[in-house]
């Protein structure tokens, strides 16, 4: 988990440093081998949501559907500054971020 969080922070820092638009980022760790086994000893829901077998990746990536993406693009295009439109969309759609 520490490695995932470290990479997440580094990527966000890189985006900010180069003035890129901040985008929602989903953190996941994927097991590609079916015989790999990991026990969540603490029963932490965050770990259960982040660590998954490869067969769950597609359903995880489909959480943000075409309508949500279209709405985000509308917010960005209609705003005076694109970054402000994106920020407004993120604030209003925390369940997807």
Residue 50 burial by Cβ neighbours in a 10 Å radius (0-12, 13-18, 19+): middle
pTM for this predicted structure = 0.48
Instruction: Give the tokens for residue 30.
Output: 């994927």
Instruction: List the beta bridge partners of residue 53.
Output: 31
**pLDDT digits over 23-70, tens only?**
767 777 887 777 877 777 888 877 777 788 777 776 666 666 777 777
Closest CA to 96 of 12, 23, 30, 28: 23
């Amino acid at each position: 988990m520490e490695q995932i969080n470290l990479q997440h922070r580094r990527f966000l820092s890189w985006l900010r440093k180069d003035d890129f638009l901040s985008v929602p980022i989903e953190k996941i760790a994927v097991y590609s081998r079916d015989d790999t086994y990991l026990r969540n000893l603490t029963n932490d829901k965050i770990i259960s949501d982040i660590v998954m077998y490869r067969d769950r990746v597609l359903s995880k990536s489909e959480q943000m559907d075409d309508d949500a993406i279209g709405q985000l693009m509308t917010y960005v295009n209609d705003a005076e500054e694109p970054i402000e439109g994106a920020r407004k969309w993120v604030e209003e759609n925390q369940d997807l971020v």
